[in-house]
């Protein structure tokens, strides 16, 4: 650990540093992991493209190197490669191998299927560095398709109302749209302005989202029975009052906590998470088989307790600046 974050000394390489560094590898484009101004940046092609959209072209770093999944590069004698993390488009785990031992940094990840990104690939390793956003037994995410079915049932029940779904702009929004399409929703889907650049970027990267329209130009009557995707903060806000009797929905793993949904004025909570739940975290620890588990951010205490119970060594890194609320769970 350094003030900039997790550091691989022989490679001179930081993983998801919180400040500009000489050489960084970035797991994915969420703002708590991807920050601008590095010297050299290694990441998947999709992550680099999404960083360009979010921070401006070329601002991620002076030199940018695309890593293909499974393609190793050698940095200072360390073999470095990435594999999919299943979290958002382009999300990657970083594997680093040096003198016969292997560390894998998960970044954020989930194990549930997601039509907008490649599935998590477990990599056997000696040290597994994991997130712990939902590392409590209470967190068990239902299949996302069931939550989308609830949304569509509500749309059918209230054809005169507009359903406004709060979803984080990078990843969750596109996943919700793709899931709606798979469930047979073929009508145009309306977007808050904050959603548009990243939806366009996903389309450009080959993720088909169907017909998307701006929510801000549409009239109230026209929006009856339609679905709008907006940032979670806009859902219970004045912004949503432009629609016909809006039904406020939020898609997040945090919606598992009903009091939280109520406190935020969410009428229809949708438990759709881009992070591993308790069962997925534990299954992943089994699959990677690492005797040593380092926990970056989230509910590290519960996970480390579980790790110790199973005879592995756990260590809380207590990374700061990660898991910001606005990432949306």
Residues near Zn ion (CB under 5 A) are 30, 32, 108
Crossing angle of helices 144-157 and 172-182, in 10° steps, is: 70
Distance of CA 285 to the CA centre of its chain: 19
Bridge partner residues of 74 (DSSP): 79
Q: At its nearest, how many Å lie between Zn ion and the CB of residue 20?
A: 19
The alpha carbon dihedral of 175, 181, 184, 187 has a sign of: positive
Q: Which residues pair with 213 in a beta bridge?
A: 190
Residue 168 or 190 having the CB closest to Zn ion:
168
Q: Between residues 30 and 299, which has the closer beta carbon with respect to Zn ion?
A: 30
Looking at residue 126, what DSSP letter applies?
Answer: S
30 versus 35: smaller Cβ distance to Zn ion: 30
**Can you tell me whether residue 95 is helix, strand or coil?**
strand
Asked whether 131 and 144 are in contact (CB, 8 A), the reply is no
User: Residue 128 CB, nearest distance to Zn ion (Å)?
Assistant: 16
For residue 83, the minimal CB distance to Zn ion (Å) is 16
Task: Report the residue number, 92 or 248, with the smaller CB distance to Zn ion.
Answer: 92
Identify the CA nearest to 79 among candidates 13, 26, 131: 13
Q: How open is the CA angle 166-55-87, to the nearest 5 degrees?
A: 50
Closest distance of CB 218 from Zn ion, Å:
31
Q: Compute the least distance from the CB of residue 106 to Zn ion, in Å.
A: 10
Residue 248 or 296 with smaller CB distance to Zn ion = 296
């Amino acid at each position: 650990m350094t003030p900039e974050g997790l550091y691989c000394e022989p490679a001179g390489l930081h993983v998801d540093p919180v400040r500009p560094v000489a050489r960084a590898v970035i797991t994915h484009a969420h703002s708590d992991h991807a920050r601008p101004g590095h010297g050299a940046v290694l990441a998947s092609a999709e992550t680099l493209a999404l960083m360009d959209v979010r921070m401006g072209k070329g601002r991620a770093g002076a030199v940018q190197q695309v890593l293909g999944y499974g393609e190793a590069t050698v940095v200072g004698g360390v073999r470095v490669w990435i594999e999919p993390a299943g979290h958002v488009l382009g999300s990657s785990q970083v594997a680093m191998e040096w003198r016969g031992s292997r560390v894998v940094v998960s970044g954020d990840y989930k194990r549930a299927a997601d039509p907008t990104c490649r599935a998590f690939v477990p990599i056997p390793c000696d040290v597994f560095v994991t997130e712990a956003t939902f590392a409590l037994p209470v967190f068990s995410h239902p299949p996302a398709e069931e939550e989308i079915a609830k949304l569509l049932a509500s749309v059918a029940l209230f054809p005169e109302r507009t359903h406004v779904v709060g979803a984080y702009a990078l990843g969750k929004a596109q996943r919700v749209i793709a899931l709606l399409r798979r469930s047979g929703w073929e009508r145009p889907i309306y977007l808050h302005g904050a959603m548009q650049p990243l939806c366009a970027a996903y389309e450009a990267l080959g993720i088909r989202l169907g017909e998307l329209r701006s929510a801000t130009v549409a009239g109230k009557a026209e929006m009856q029975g339609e679905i709008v995707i907006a940032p979670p903060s806009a859902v219970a806000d004045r912004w949503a009052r432009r629609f016909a009797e809006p039904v406020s929905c939020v898609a997040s793993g945090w919606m598992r906590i009903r009091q939280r949904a109520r406190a935020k004025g969410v009428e229809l909570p949708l438990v759709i998470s881009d992070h591993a739940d308790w069962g997925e975290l534990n299954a992943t620890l089994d699959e990677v088989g690492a005797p040593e588990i380092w926990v970056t951010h989230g509910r590290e205490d519960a996970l480390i307790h579980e790790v110790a119970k199973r005879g592995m060594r756990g260590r809380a890194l207590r990374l700061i600046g990660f898991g910001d609320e606005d990432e949306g769970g």
